Amino acid sequence: MTPPAGPGQRNVLKVHYERAGAGPVAYLDETYHVEYDGRRRFYVMAAVVVLEHDRDPLRNELDELVPSGWWHTTNQLRTEEGRDQARELLQTFRVPDETCVIVDKVSIEPTDKDGTRARGAVLGRLLTALHTGEHGTHPRVGLTVIEEHRTARINNYDRAVRAELIKSGTIADTAPFVAVSPGTEHLLWLPDLVCSAYRQKTVFGRDELFEVIEKLTHVVQLP
């Protein structure tokens, strides 16, 4: 769950976009299972990197496909009609304008009760890949936008992970990181879609969604 969209978030994001200039922007979301219920515990984060010239056209295309202005992939996947619409949205991804990077913590230590340490490991690895252009499919990311959580502790933890990467010299301190609601930025629907498609494939063995984006997706697995 995320806070509702507001003019404050829109203004902050607008400033960040202006500062990013022609640099690509990465949009982040996560999917996970941390409960102790006998199933595999994992933590996954996905980033969709969008080049500057495609940002506005892609957002407009999403809005045309979802005129209600509200999207949450998990809810949509409960019906066949929703699954068809999710596939349609995934088909808006284009090479080379969009690239997906997924970091999968395939197992979580038993002592990591709520998955916080796993989240930190995954986020740190993903930010490193994005800000170094590790896979060679996009320039170094100029801005990272992540879905904001209602829990301030998580938002603060994410910022601390980024700060540690800057302190260690892994990423530059000029790489901004901002958390907003998907209601503020509909391009955050994209990593939500990618996370759901990946989860459908790895957990449920259904690959009809992930196959749409598989060729433009890089997956990094952490032990």
pLDDT for 5 equals 57
pLDDT digits (tens, 9 = 90+) for 187-210: 999 999 999 999 999 999 999 999
Query: Strand pairing partners for 145?
Result: 27, 178
- Give the CATH number, domain containing residue 104: 3.30.420.10
Residue 106 sits at φ, ψ, to 5 deg, of: -70, -15
Mean pLDDT, residues 149-159 taken together: 94
Is residue 182 classed exposed, middle or buried when 0-12, 13-18 and 19+ CB atoms within 10 A define those classes?
Answer: buried
**What are the tens digits of pLDDT across the range 68-127?**
999 999 999 999 999 999 999 999 998 888 999 999 999 999 999 999 999 999 999 999
**Is residue 218's pLDDT more than 50?**
yes
Residue 21 CB neighbours (<10 A): 9
Phi-psi region of 58 (alpha: psi -120 to 50; beta: other; left: phi over 0): alpha
Report whether 43 contacts 115 (CB < 8 A). Answer: yes
Is the pTM higher than 0.85? The answer reads yes
Residue 1 located in a structural domain: no
pLDDT for position 137: 87
Which residues is 26 bridged to in the sheet?
49, 144
Alpha carbon distance 136, 17 (integer Å): 23
In a domain, 168, yes or no: yes
Strands of 106-176, DSSP E: 143-147
101, 218 Cβ separation under 8 angstroms: yes
Strands 217-222 and 177-180: unpaired
Q: Has residue 139 been placed in a domain? A: yes
Structure-token pair, residue 95: 């090479």
Residue-wise pLDDT for 10-69, tens only, equals 999 999 999 999 999 999 999 999 999 999 999 999 999 999 999 999 999 999 999 999
- Give me the mean pLDDT over the 131-149 stretch: 92
Domain encompassing residue 100:
7-222
Total number of domains constituting the chain:
1
Q: Determine how β-strand 177-180 pairs with β-strand 143-147.
A: parallel
2 belongs to a structural domain: no
User: What single-letter amino acid sits at 83?
Assistant: R
Confidence band, pLDDT 50/70/90 cuts, at residue 174:
confident
Residue 175 pLDDT class (50, 70, 90 cuts): confident
Q: How confident is the model at residue 2 (pLDDT cuts 50, 70, 90)?
A: very low
What separation in angstroms does the CA of 172 have from each of 22, 97, 131? 17, 24, 8
